[in-house]
Amino acid sequence: MKTFQQLYKLFARLFILSAIFLNLPVMPVFAQNEKPNILLIAIDDLNDWVGHLKGHPMVQTPNIDRLAASGIAFTNAHVQAPLCNPSRSSILTGLRPTTTGIYALGPWFRDLEGYKDLVTLPQYFEKNGYETMATGKIFHDAFPPKEERRNGTEFSVWGFHGGFFPRPEEPFVKNTGHPLVDWGVYPETDSLQDDWKVTDWAIDQLENRPENKPFFLSVGIRHPHLPLYASQKWFDLYPEENLLLPETRAEDREDIPPFSWYLHWDLPEPRRAWLEMNHQWKPKVRAYLASISFADMLVGRLLDTLEKEGLTENTIVVLFSDHGYHLGTKGITGKNSLWHESTRVPFIFSGPGIPEKGKLNDVPVELLDLYPTLVALVGLPNKDGLDGRSLMQLLTDIAYKRESPAICTHGPDNHVVVTEEWRFIQYADGSRELYDRKNDQNEWHNLAILEDYIPTMDKLSNYLPKSAKPAPGSKTRLIEMIDGMPYWEGKIIPHGAKVPMKFD
């Protein structure tokens, strides 16, 4: 005779399949005491250089790709901000930067009027019976303040936080002016890396998980964020003599509005011109690739532990990056742009409640959608007041199309709207860019300069959100227009100012 648990699982599968066959919205069926676990893997500064997204032909990410093969990978997923703090705040609160006014590396959203008691994604799961745990970089590193990282605040349990360690006594790249702007082979052993220790802590929680409740484990891997350090074996995957640099054009910015420079006006990350002058372009690309493969190995350690512990069948795994990263395209390295290198990221769902396996979906989605999607996937009560939309229909029916685009914002009134066909950018001064996603994947031809495309841009502009004013305390990496003039970090950018090309 089949056990109740076996019959229950059979009923759940039949329910999902019948709903798909009848083209009905699928809601998960989980017994209250059998809610699925959740493993959330957040990777820092990872663009589309992963195997299934084909962002770089040489990249080796076998573990991220095996996760994609076990579920659904969104190939047109975008962040809500191309910068750590506003992106992570948006993901975890379920609110757009244009709602909260958080566009910069500060402030901490709990310091803002009206947000002190806001219920974040992990808090909502804790309120509904989950043990929530965090290790590594989940919120922006500065937040919550160290003294507030107590068990039972943002998470039930705070684990090893880590950082960008270890570091060599002297940087490999000289005269950068910033301690994190460095890359090279270091250290000798993977286990010395903080990211390895973060993963160790997460593995320990999987092996010694709560017995009487499901878990929500968030793991923040900092690689490939600067500094780009990895041991020799990861660099060996990308021999320097065979290394392919990103495709670029010398005249790439000639048809782009001058305002585009202001979004990444004066940053620690070097311009491509600086890298070329100092013979560092190829070394940085190689170190970035090596760091990606190191991070991928850590993802593999987590997936292997799930299998070893018999947790794969009852654990939803979600992997994403907080934003992308340029490696020379558009003349820059770093993030802080509204082009695809900054906004397009891996976004993968795998586990119970997701019948589609190994499918790629190019429908535009947002990381903002994570909060309502996880709530729906495990069958919790709907959470009111979120800006995102559940992806349940996309997860259960690969042919389903939704009309809404993905929207990313960097500073008030600088937005990009992404559909399956178009990438439309509008800056705070009203200037525009338009790219054909299907026929111009490198975004080399700005169609906004052609009159024929004005109707297309006018239609896409209907999706542009209204921007809240920058939250009190906003400064670092904030770009805004004040009285018709651009301001970077509170200082005016004069007319005709020369674009900063080197480090201070």
What amino acid positions are annotated as catalytic residues? Answer: 84, 140
8 Å CB contact between 412 and 103: yes
Query: CB–CB of 36/315 below 8 Å?
Result: yes
Question: What are the CA-CA distances from residue 444 to residues 59, 260, 414, 435 (Å)?
Answer: 23, 14, 20, 8
C-beta neighbour count of 330 within 10 angstroms:
24
Contact 101, 469 (CB under 8 A): yes
Give the tokens for residue 181. Answer: 């702007």
Q: Tell me the CA end-to-end span of the chain in Å, nearest whole number.
A: 74
Name the pairing type of β-strands 415-418 and 157-158: unpaired
CB atoms near residue 122 (< 10 Å): 22
* Nearest-angstrom CA–CA distance, 159 and 218: 10
Give the per-residue SS3 of 154-167: CCCEECCCCCCCCC
Place of tokens 């040489």: 58
Helices (H) and strands (E) in the chain, counts: 13, 21
Q: Give the rounded distance of the alpha carbon of 207 from its chain centre.
A: 27
DSSP output for 264-300:
GSS-SSPBHHHHHHTT-HHHHHHHHHHHHHHHHHHHH
Question: Residue 396 gets which letter from DSSP?
Answer: H
The DSSP line for 300-345 is HHHHHHHHHTT-GGGEEEEEEES---EESGGGBEES-SSSHHHHB-
